[in-house]
Amino acid sequence: MNAPRPVHAPMAQFPVIDDCLQVGGIPLTRLAQRVGRTPFYAYDRGLITQRVALLRKHLPAEIHLHYAIKANPMPAVVQHLAPLIDGLDVASAGEMRVALDTGIAPGLVSFAGPGKTDAELAQAVAAGIIVNLESEHEMERIAALGAGSGTRPRVAVRVNPDFELKSSGMKMSGGPKQFGVDAERVPAMLARIGQLGLDFQGFHIFSGSQNLRADAICEAQRKTIELALQLAEHAPAPVRSLNIGGGFGIPYFPGEQALDIGAVGAQLAPLLPRLKQRLPQVQVVVELGRFLVGEAGLYVCRVIDRKISRGHVFLVTDGGLHHHLAASGNFGQVIRKNYPVVVGNKVAGRERERASVVGPLCTPLDLLADNMEMAKADVGDLIVVFQSGAYGLSASPTAFLGHPAAAEVLV
Ligand SMILES: *Cc1c(COP(=O)(O)O)cnc(C)c1O
Per-residue pLDDT of the chain (411 residues; tens, 9 = 90+): 577 889 999 999 999 999 999 999 999 999 999 999 999 999 999 999 999 999 999 999 999 999 999 999 999 999 999 999 999 999 999 999 999 999 999 999 999 999 999 999 999 999 999 999 999 999 999 999 999 999 999 999 999 998 877 766 666 677 889 999 999 999 999 999 999 999 999 999 998 899 999 999 999 999 999 999 999 999 999 999 999 999 999 999 999 999 999 999 999 999 999 999 999 999 999 999 999 999 999 999 999 999 999 999 999 999 999 999 999 999 988 899 999 999 999 999 999 999 999 999 999 999 999 999 999 999 999 999 999 999 999 999 999 999 999 999 999
SS3 content of the chain, % helix, strand, coil (to 5): 35, 25, 40
Q: For 262, phi and psi rounded to 5 degrees?
A: -60, -40
Instruction: Report pLDDT for 171.
Output: 66
Amino acid making up residue 105? A
Whether 112 is in the pocket of ligand 1, judged by its Cβ within 6 Å, is yes
Ligand 1: centre distance to CA 397 (Å): 20
Ligand 1: centre distance to CA 37 (Å): 31
Distance CA 285, CA 244 (A): 6
Instruction: Report pLDDT for 165.
Output: 76
Instruction: Report pLDDT for 1.
Output: 56
Contact between 43 and 389 under an 8 Å Cβ cutoff? The reply is: yes
Smallest Cα–Cα separation from 287: which of 392, 158, 155, 127?
158
Smallest Cα–Cα separation from 199: which of 240, 141, 243, 159?
240
Minimum-distance ligand 1 atom for the alpha carbon of 390 = 8
Neighbours of 117 (CB within 10 A): 11
Distance CA 214, CA 231 (A): 26
∠ CA 355-357-362, nearest 5°, is 130
Distance CA 316, CA 309 (A): 12
Q: If 0-12 CB within 10 Å is exposed, 13-18 middle and 19+ buried, where does residue 41 land?
A: buried
| Furthest-apart CA atoms within the chain: distance in Å | 74
| Beta bridge partners of residue 352, listed in sequence order | 375
∠ CA 161-163-168, nearest 5°, is 110
Whether 210 is in the pocket of ligand 1, judged by its Cβ within 6 Å, is yes
Distance CA 191, CA 405 (A): 49
Contact between 69 and 90 under an 8 Å Cβ cutoff? The reply is: yes
Helix (H) or strand (E) run with residue 203 in it? strand 199-204
pTM score, whole prediction: 0.96
Whether 71 is in the pocket of ligand 1, judged by its Cβ within 6 Å, is yes
Contact between 382 and 388 under an 8 Å Cβ cutoff? The reply is: no
Could you tell me where the beta strands, DSSP code E, fall in 59-172?
Answer: 64-68, 87-90, 109-111, 130-133, 154-160, 170-171
Distance CA 89, CA 204 (A): 11
Ligand 1: centre distance to CA 177 (Å): 15
Question: Crossing angle, helix 118-127 and helix 93-101, to 10 degrees?
Answer: 20
Distance CA 247, CA 327 (A): 19
Domains of the chain plus CATH, in order, are: 16-43+296-410 (2.40.37.10), 73-288 (3.20.20.10)
Helices (H), 328-388: none
Instruction: Report pLDDT for 88.
Output: 98
Distance CA 187, CA 228 (A): 11
Instruction: Report pLDDT for 207.
Output: 86
Distance CA 406, CA 403 (A): 9
Contact between 193 and 139 under an 8 Å Cβ cutoff? The reply is: yes
Whether 70 is in the pocket of ligand 1, judged by its Cβ within 6 Å, is yes
Ligand 1: centre distance to CA 288 (Å): 6
**Closest C-alpha to ligand 1, atom 14:** 68
Whether 291 is in the pocket of ligand 1, judged by its Cβ within 6 Å, is yes
Instruction: Report pLDDT for 397.
Output: 97
Helix (H) or strand (E) run with residue 168 in it? none
End-to-end CA distance of the chain: 46
Whether 159 is in the pocket of ligand 1, judged by its Cβ within 6 Å, is no
Whether 206 is in the pocket of ligand 1, judged by its Cβ within 6 Å, is yes
